[in-house]
Amino acid sequence: MQQGNLTALSITICIILTVVLIGFLAGRDKATRSSVEEWSVGGRRFGGLLVWFLVGADLYTAYTFLGLTSTAYTAGSLAFFAIPYSVLAYFISYFFLPKLWKVANHHKLTTLADYARERFDSKLLSSLIAIVGVLMLIPYICLQLSGIQDTLQVAGTGFINVKVVVITSFFLVALYTFFSGIKGPTYTAIIKDVLVWAIMLFMVVSLPIMHFGGWNPMVDKIVTEAPQLLTIPTEGPKGIPWFITASFVSALALFMWAHAATGVFTAKSADAIRKNALYLPLYNIVLILVVFLGFIAFLVLPDGTDPRFALLALIQTSYGGIGQGLAYSTIALASLIPCSIMAIGASNLFANNIYRDLINPKVKGAKLTMITRGMVFVVIGLALLFGLVFPQALVSLQLLGVSGMVQIFPAIVVSLFWRNQTREATIIGLLVGLAVTFTVYSTGTSLGIYEGFWGLMANFAAIVVLNPLFVKKAKFSTNAVKDYLFGGKSKEVDLVRKGA
């Protein structure tokens, strides 16, 4: 590893510490910690712009920038799958997230598992969703660890002990998350997102000029020297079928993640959610540019460069200390801030839907709030441990995590629109989908299709086949959430009860 740059390292550490301090200041009001609802979703008082910054900071992480650049560096245009999947995700979210937000707001729900429990009168389903959510989030948090570790390694080689600094950084993030709740990452997300837009736009303007004399010469050189970067394979394990199914599954899974749902539930109105669905696709401008940074890295960096460090090595090769510092700090913040939101989402799932629903249903509100906050240290600690022990497994596990998270889509989204969807069929469908996904993944029998697609099809098939076996019972069951969603008991139920 090349010697780091002391100026770049100093700027990176100063910006990180400043942002962490702002995170602490955001939670100085004691009301922030007064309840689970206040701590985890900010009392649902965030306007459209704050939600836009929060969800953007939440979904566009260091893994997005480093991972997409690495994919573009090694596999070319396959990296563009991130564009259609996010556009499709926002389009779909426009139709179900406002409805989900209304239910959550009316019934004071803070997690997707809360919704499943109330919608289906099932603590078992709630706990299954919570377990899946927590297990799938740990590798994702680990990837944020990997992002800041790689950044500090490039910036600080020869100056610092990277692991000690990484552990210290994540401890500080855990501390300000414990103290400030969702307000900490929300206000720091503004800084992170402004830096992302400014630095990424600066890089995509300056790098082609520095290395090729402009965009046209750069594109001409790609066409001449590396045309394989501009095409998607038509066959093989990651050809067009994989591209299509990966985009589709990732789109359905995006708002099933606990941290994405946390961001959504902070909104003060359903209209703010709709506006976000319209304007969040603007972030795809950044994604497209990041893919091109991978192409530039392929042409500029020497053969044998580790793809994992492609973007960081490109920054180190191209800029002086100040430019490096601003770029590194942007990537570091894109690790730390999403980590905070993910930790809130995972902690909320554990405390509310595993501890309260399964272990101690009579827990008092104050104790539950403290347990939820305290779980931040456990979640981030497990992620740190996992990332340090199994660093090579992170990307594979995160991709598997997408395939796992999409399996809760029928339980959450479909149930918003299908009154007679049954608890039993939904639980069996979820378990079948997870089993098929992990079987296909572990045996390598995906046949060029994204693993989660096979699981989701099996999930839907199980629900459709089994639902009629339980639907008669479901017709007579009702609860507050079902009545809220479907306007009370259906006419069919009333007629049956009257003997018509």
CA distance 128 to 427: 8
Question: CA gyration radius for the chain?
Answer: 23
CA distance 131 to 344: 15
Residue 489's pLDDT band (boundaries 50, 70, 90)? low
Mean of pLDDT values over 23-29 = 84
Mean of pLDDT values over 57-76 = 85
| SS3 (DSSP) at 309 | helix
- pLDDT for residue 494: 40
CA atoms within 13 A on the CB side of 335: 28
Picking from 451, 454, 474, the residue whose alpha carbon sits closest to that of residue 462 is: 454
For the chain, percent helix, then strand, then coil, each to nearest 5?
A: 85, 0, 15
Residue 473's pLDDT band (boundaries 50, 70, 90)? low
Tell whether the torsion through CA atoms of 53, 55, 60 and 61 is positive or negative: positive
Q: Which two tokens stand for residue 263?
A: 């961001």
- pLDDT for residue 269: 93
| Residues 232 and 77: beta-carbon distance below 8 Å | yes
- pLDDT for residue 115: 96
Q: Which two tokens stand for residue 126?
A: 């709630």
Neighbours of 17 (CB within 10 A): 12
Residue 106, judged by CB atoms within 10 A of its CB (0-12, 13-18, 19+), counts as: exposed
- pLDDT tens profile 342-401: 999 999 999 999 999 889 988 888 899 999 999 999 988 888 887 777 666 555 666 678
Find tokens 């245009």 and name the residue.
Answer: 77
Residue 496's pLDDT band (boundaries 50, 70, 90)? very low
- pLDDT for residue 392: 61
Amino acid at 105: N
pTM of the model: 0.89
Residue 408's pLDDT band (boundaries 50, 70, 90)? very high
CA distance 352 to 292: 43
Q: Where are the alpha helices (DSSP H) in 390-450?
A: 394-405, 409-412, 423-443
- pLDDT tens profile 327-354: 999 998 988 888 889 999 999 999 999 9
Distances (CA, A) of 391 to 144, 240, 307: 12, 29, 15
Mean of pLDDT values over 202-219 = 93
Counts for the chain of helices (H) and strands (E), in that order:
23, 0
Residue 484's pLDDT band (boundaries 50, 70, 90)? very high
Q: Which two tokens stand for residue 253?
A: 């899974």
Q: Which two tokens stand for residue 19?
A: 């942002």
CA distance 62 to 330: 9
Give me the percent of the chain exceeding a pLDDT of 70. Answer: 94
Distances (CA, A) of 99 to 103, 273, 478: 6, 10, 19
| Residues 398 and 246: beta-carbon distance below 8 Å | no
Beta bridge partners of residue 267, listed in sequence order: 46
CA distance 263 to 373: 17
Q: Which domains does the chain have, with CATH numbers?
A: 6-392 (1.20.1730.10)
Residue 495's pLDDT band (boundaries 50, 70, 90)? very low
